[in-house]
Amino acid sequence: MILILSDRRDDAVEMVLPKLRSRGVPVTWWDPGDYPWRARLTAAFANGRHIVTLDTGDSRLDLSTVTAVWRRRPNPPTPAEHVTDPTHRAHVVWQAEFLLDGAWELTPARWLPCRREVERHAHNKIIHMARAVEHGFTVPETLYTNDPAELAPAYERAGGRMIAKQINSDEFTLDGADHRTYTTVVTRRHLTSRHRLRHEPVILQPYVAKAVELRVIVVGDRVFAAEIDTSASSTARDDWRHYDDDRVRHGPHELPREVADRCVRLTAALGLTYGAIDLILTPGGEYVFLEINPNGAWGFVELRAGLPVSDAIADWLAAAEPYHPEGAS
């Protein structure tokens, strides 16, 4: 049994599900956002044994039968609507997460990309930058700081070509709307307001010249690299996440074997079975590491660069299950 933990509107899951079904693998797709208001979870201990059962509202699952878990984009636990007090709601969420973490610990399964606590560790940009250096990646001179005195010297060392990024660049909600902070090119005007830096830490790096950017997807020991050429787009040139699809070119990229192997080793060193790594290929042919996202997007790598990531994910998840082709008796 494969257990997929993700929002029910997740397009990435929809891309993988047909591949799992064609392999004859049983699948349960469940969003922890249904817990505890709709779903039921019970861990029972008796006679030296334990049984953990999950009732999703649609089916009942013995977690000891789960062979692989894909922790994709799950929502946090959600209290029932009648729990309106903010303090009480926060307490319910904490209790629910506490029990879920224990249940997952008792689930004897492979995890893609990893358990929740491992992902929090691996997602920390300071930690994965240090691991990248240890594994031989070329990295830009990088500062993680909220010290205003660091900004001007870093700007001068970068020759006046520097970018700033948030420590955590995940999407966030403000006044009910989704937002994302993008890479910002630092100008001399920013230096005059550097006192503001003390209120929020940032990442400072020299602007790295690029031939193309690369999104490298690691699934187990398989590697898929997509080129992202933003040179024709003024909107996406400094951050391809602006998604200027009409002017940005995507295509497959053949990584040198030593770079591909380094990506696999870094992913494993962080305790991950999946990783989305961002690199820059410079005009001089050097591969420069920027960051790794333990659960980063890969759909565009398949759809725009033609790389079979969904097959690799399905293969990895199904590896612990007997193979029964769809329609076989």
Give the per-residue pLDDT at 165.
Answer: 86
All domains in the chain, ordered by first residue: 2-112 (3.40.50), 141-206 (3.30.1490), 209-316 (3.30.470.20)
Structure tokens at 13: 């899951």
Tokens 């009732």 correspond to 55
Per-residue confidence (pLDDT) for residue 222, from 0 to 100: 97
User: In degrees rounded to 5, what are phi and psi of residue 210?
Assistant: -130, 140
Phi, psi of 90 (to 5 degrees): -65, -35
Give CA–CA dist 10/177, Å, rounded.
Answer: 19
pLDDT in tens for each of the 329 residues of the chain?
999 999 999 999 999 999 999 999 999 999 999 999 999 999 999 988 999 999 999 999 999 999 999 999 999 999 999 988 999 999 999 999 999 999 999 998 999 999 999 999 999 999 999 999 999 999 999 999 988 889 889 889 989 888 888 887 666 565 666 656 677 888 887 787 778 778 888 889 999 999 999 999 999 999 999 999 877 554 545 554 545 566 678 899 999 999 999 999 999 999 999 999 999 999 999 999 999 999 999 999 999 999 999 999 999 999 976 654 554 43
CA 112 to chain centroid: 11
Residue 109 has a pLDDT of 93
pLDDT for residue 166: 83
Whole-number pLDDT of residue 195: 80
Query: What single letter denotes the amino acid at residue 298?
Result: W
Segments of the chain assigned E as strands: 2-5, 27-30, 40-46, 49-55, 60-62, 68-71, 110-112, 143-145, 162-166, 172-174, 177-179, 184-186, 202-206, 212-219, 222-229, 249-252, 274-281, 287-293
Query: Which alpha helices (DSSP H) does the chain contain, by range?
Result: 11-22, 86-105, 116-123, 125-134, 151-157, 188-191, 257-269, 299-305, 309-318
pTM of the model: 0.87
Q: What is the greatest pairwise CA distance in the chain? A: 72
